[in-house]
Amino acid sequence: MNKAFIALLWIASALLTYWLGLEQGSDSAYTKTSNQSLPGDSSLVVQGNAEKPQQTPKVSPVASAREPSVPVEVVEVDLDRAEERISESRTPDLQDRIKSSNPVVRLRAFTELLEDGSSESIEQAKEIYENLPEGPQRFSELRMLAYSWGQSNPQAALEWTRNLDGFDQRIGTGSVLDSWARYDSAGAISWAKENFEGEDNPYYIGIISGMSENDLVGASELMATLPYGRTRGRAASILVEKTWQMGEDVAIHFADNLPEGSIQNYAFGEIGKKIAKEDIGRAVKWVEKMDESDVKVRVSEDVAERWARESPAEAAEWVSKMPEGEARSESMEEVVTQWARKDPTATAEWLNQFPSSELMDEPIQRFVREVARKDPDTALTWAQSITNEERRKKVEADVMNIKLVQAQREQAEASGTPDPQGDRRPRRGLPNAP
């Protein structure tokens, strides 16, 4: 028994000695490690000295982090703007964000509110919109609200927009019908017919806009049935823009398939302007390849107008090479209008190159209209060259009226009496010009 106990005691002692040896080794290793230099920083190396031991300086991890070994770029921060952004991002209340003076924050919040399209969100959005300050600054919210509402309950949305005032009503109603027509054009058209009496139904603008997203052919056919007026013109403009976004060839094909007449001429004219904006040379070649027609007259006029805005002299040179006819006459009107505002003398010299004729009457009248207020005597001389007697007398009378008003004003200024015209502002061009 005693021998066993002694054996156990010996084993325990051996184990204890072994364990203590491991602990001592670990401490030694820790000490050696702690005396090594930190990577990249020689200032922290501590050399050991057997004769004169030195104490390793204590190094603060925080201090080391604040003193990097590589250069740091200092960036200036607009603290006021940063605080504003943080404040906006942390604002938990949706209504507060919607009322923000920052339009980006406000519209983002309004969009967030209308995402689910539920009746609850619509009602909340309507209440918020009605409490926004009146004016054009809330038109975007109105469009979003009306469009979202039109997807779920267009009848109720239209009843609400009916009570809006002026331009707000037009925007709201158009947005509802745009939304409605995208999934139920027949229902939207039926509502438009029932709720408007007259020829020029403005409700078709929103309907055609919505239909063009999914049914371009149907939208075009509906537009073609409309009577001549503002609605048809606006609808045509929408469809030209829509097809142009699809590509130039698509837009030209669309215009080519429209009924002949004013609506087709308008569409081709707008396409001509767009081509001229991108490449005037390409627009000119396109016009020159056209057969003589009303379409060519309209496109020539619109291309000349666009070109004359940038370089009237070059546009005038192009127009001069056109054969005598309606296309040249209409194009000359646009060149004269733009050029006379910049250089009336050069414009007059250019006009003098062409013999008097009825086709020159309109370009000359345009010139008279532009220079009459600055130089009525010169304008009167040019007015007398108009060949059509009725037109000539009318233009002469208009110029004489301008001369009379100017003489009265000069006399009033000389005598110190009130201006006989009062606060009336002169209108551009000649009054009552045909």
What pLDDT does residue 13 have? 56
Residue 423: the pLDDT is 47
pLDDT of residue 419: 56
Amino acid 31: pLDDT: 40
- Please report, in angstroms and rounded to a whole number, the separation of the first and last CA atoms in the chain: 137
What is d(CA 162, CA 159) in angstroms, rounded to the nearest whole number?
Answer: 5
Q: Positive or negative CA dihedral for 126, 131, 135, 141?
A: negative
Average pLDDT score, the chain? 80
Reading phi first (left if > 0) and then psi (alpha if -120 to 50, else beta), residue 166 is in left
Distance CA 140, CA 146 (A): 10
Q: What is the pLDDT of residue 32?
A: 40
pLDDT digits (tens, 9 = 90+) for 19-68: 445 444 444 433 444 443 333 333 323 333 334 334 443 333 333 333 44
**Cβ atoms < 10 Å from Cβ of 290:** 15
Determine the pLDDT at residue 421.
Answer: 54
- Picking from 88, 70, 91, the residue whose alpha carbon sits closest to that of residue 80 is 88
- Above 80 in pLDDT, residue 248? yes
Q: How large a percentage of the chain has pLDDT more than 70?
A: 74
Q: How far, in Å, are 71, 210, 239, 260, 277 from residue 219 at the CA level? A: 65, 8, 8, 17, 27
Amino acid 55: pLDDT: 42
- Token duo for residue 63: 């201090």
CA diameter of the chain: 150
CA distances from 255 to 241, 252, 273 (A): 11, 5, 14
Query: pLDDT tens across 77-115, in order?
Result: 455 554 455 444 444 577 678 777 788 888 888 888 888
- CA 267/CA 241 separation, integer angstroms: 10
Both tokens of 384, joined, read 């007398």
Spatial separation of the C-alpha atoms in residues 368 and 386, rounded to whole Å = 10
Angle at 139 between CA 136 and CA 143, to 5 degrees: 165
Residue with token string 């130039």: 248
Q: Which pLDDT band holds residue 10 (cuts at 50, 70, 90)?
A: low
- Among 320, 253, 255, 327, which residue's Cα sits nearest to residue 293? 327
In which band, very low, low, confident or very high, does the pLDDT at 429 lie, cut at 50, 70 and 90?
Answer: very low
Q: How confident is the model at residue 282 (pLDDT cuts 50, 70, 90)?
A: very high
Q: Which residues contact 160 (CB under 8 A, 6 or more apart)?
A: 126, 149, 172
pLDDT over 80 at 127, yes or no: yes
pLDDT tens, residue by residue, 62-87: 333 334 444 445 445 455 554 455 44
What is the model's pLDDT at position 422? 52
The whole-angstrom separation of Cα 373 and Cα 179 is 49
Q: Comparing 4-13, 41-50, 126-135, 302-311, which segment has the lowest mean pLDDT?
A: 41-50
Tokens, residue 424: 């009336």
Residue 106 DSSP code: H
Q: 433 or 404: whose pLDDT is higher? A: 404
Q: What are the tokens at 46?
A: 């501590």
pLDDT tens for residues 186-197?
999 999 999 999
Asked if 278 and 247 touch (Cβ cutoff 8 Å), the reply is: no
